[in-house]
Chain A
């Protein structure tokens, strides 16, 4: 049951972050505008952040399927979800009426719906992060089999 849960979480999280990341990579200018709209980062860092973040999403999502990097990928995505949640809360607290920039061109205003979605994603990332090392010990010695695969 637990293996099924983590497997489903992995598929969903990887799919979402791959979709989100690839869309942003395809249109970095729009994503940079979205990042700037949050008014959190200094102007000088906005474009660099907007360029690197989508690739981080994509690589971390891919890492979820590599036994050696599975936990690292989950940890990176957990950190990203935490950043997204803090940014959304900050924008809501300041009354900013902006697009969340979550999925490239699709327009979703920052609000409770986006926050709830990010919290669900964070919970799923935490499930993956807490998975035992991305490794399964069958007889205390054997390693390297993927749970659920």
Chain B
């Protein structure tokens, strides 16, 4: 016991030095990690597949999705609603005027619906090594940390009004949300984050590919 006590200053020294180095190096980074993690934007509204990719869904289905008057609508959706439900249009229009373009959340089910109709581009926001190990079949890789370097090559052939679904490791990861926000800032109008991430997709038995993907 006495021997352990003698070691405490050394242990404290190692940890304290690590803390000082960590904070110093982080402060010197071009994009330092915030010391206190910011909460996920849980107020981000949800969007369903019909609203995220209205053109594709209209082509594929004869019955359009019903409008929800109180929900925040994507810009192009508002036009569709205007023809059918004038009362909700007024509310939606008010929301639209006061709401800047933003990235939405979408559910696994809606994402799969878009996937089945090839109505959305899926973008893996994780590191390229993780992408190569396993990713949603057909998804492209755009690691958010390398966004500026990769954006042009990856996104040049994707129209700005194309539905885009981003994902990362799970509901706790932030890369998909950051990537989605960045894409909106670059002019993409129909961007949504699939919160369940790759584990949710894989867990539902949906197709994945990569060096470590299950056959």
Contacts and interface: CB of A to CB of B under 8 A. Distances in A.
A46 B36 CA distance: 7
A52 B10 contact: no
Main secondary structure of the interface of A (DSSP, over half): helix
B134 interface: yes
A33 B199 contact: no
B18 A55 contact: yes
A50 interface: yes
Interface of B: 3-4, 7, 10-11, 13-15, 17-19, 21-23, 25-26, 33-37, 39, 126-130, 133-134, 145, 168-170, 172-175, 199, 202-203, 212
Contacts of A115: none
Given A25-B25, A48-B35, A33 B174 contact: yes
Given A50-B33, A55-B18, A71 B7 contact: yes
Interface string A42-58: 01111110111011101
B22 A52 contact: yes
Interface stretch (A5-13, A72-80, A120-128, A135-143): A72-80
Contacts of B34: 47
Interface of A: 25, 27-30, 32-34, 36-37, 39, 43-48, 50-52, 54-56, 58-60, 63, 68-69, 71-73, 75-76, 97-99, 105-107, 133
A106 B23 CA distance: 24
A107 B133 contact: yes
